């Protein structure tokens, strides 16, 4: 049985990414938990040294849980492109450089794809909930689509403006945030997390 989080618990969001923090905090509102960010607690941002999303999600959640002495929820997610053999993947944020310039990161994706006819891409999110004693629960969500160029829309963050989900007509950069919250890779992982760890 998955370990659960009691009502009114305090939970650390183990992320320093403002966009992720907003999305996850919005998703947590209905659960009644008290949320505090790793940044607000002055927790350091650990180096993501694992080769996959699950490993990095666990690393971040455990680091925050052990230092804060509270359950911690982390997100490791990325943009994967079939023509680039899954890149940028786990290094999606690093492609944006130290200044987090995702316009440059999207331009790099476009450049490296070249004239490949394979435009398939996907977003993956792994959410990991960790406790100070080292216990973890992890959940994965994925949304498939195609890469478009030029990027469209000023909403969302990261690679959203160049991602057109399968069956959609708007990129994530053009999509209303509430609609994205309901259907994104993060939302799909979050549904599993809530069902397993936040029974109400």
Question: What length does the chain have?
Answer: 200
| 156: alpha, beta or left? (left if phi > 0; alpha if psi -120 to 50) | left
- Asked if 176 and 154 touch (Cβ cutoff 8 Å), the reply is no
Distances in whole angstroms, Cα of residue 6 to Cα of each of 10, 36, 94, 126, 195: 9, 16, 36, 22, 13
User: Is 101 among the residues known to form the active site?
Assistant: no
Catalytic residue among 76, 144, 160, 176: 76
Continuous segment of H or E residues that includes residue 185: helix 185-197
Residues labelled catalytic: 76
């Amino acid at each position: 049985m998955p370990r659960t989080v009691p009502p009114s618990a305090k939970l650390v969001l183990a992320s320093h990414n403002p966009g992720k923090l907003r999305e996850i905090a919005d998703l947590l509102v209905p659960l009644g938990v008290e949320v505090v960010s790793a940044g607000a607690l002055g927790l350091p941002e650990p180096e993501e040294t694992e080769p996959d999303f699950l490993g990095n999600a666990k690393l971040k959640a455990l680091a925050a849980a052990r230092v804060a002495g509270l359950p911690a929820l982390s997100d490791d997610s990325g943009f994967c492109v079939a023509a680039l053999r899954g890149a940028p993947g786990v290094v999606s944020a690093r492609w944006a450089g130290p200044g987090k310039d995702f316009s440059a990161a999207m331009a790099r994706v476009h450049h490296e794809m070249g004239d490949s006819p394979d435009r398939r891409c996907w977003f993956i999110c792994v959410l990991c909930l960790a406790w100070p004693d080292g216990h973890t629960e992890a959940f994965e969500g994925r949304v498939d689509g195609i890469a478009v160029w030029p990027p469209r829309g000023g909403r969302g963050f990261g690679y959203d403006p160049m991602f057109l989900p399968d069956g959609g007509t708007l990129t994530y950069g053009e999509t209303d945030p509430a609609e994205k919250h309901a259907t994104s890779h993060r939302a799909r992982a979050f549904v599993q997390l809530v069902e397993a760890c936040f029974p109400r």
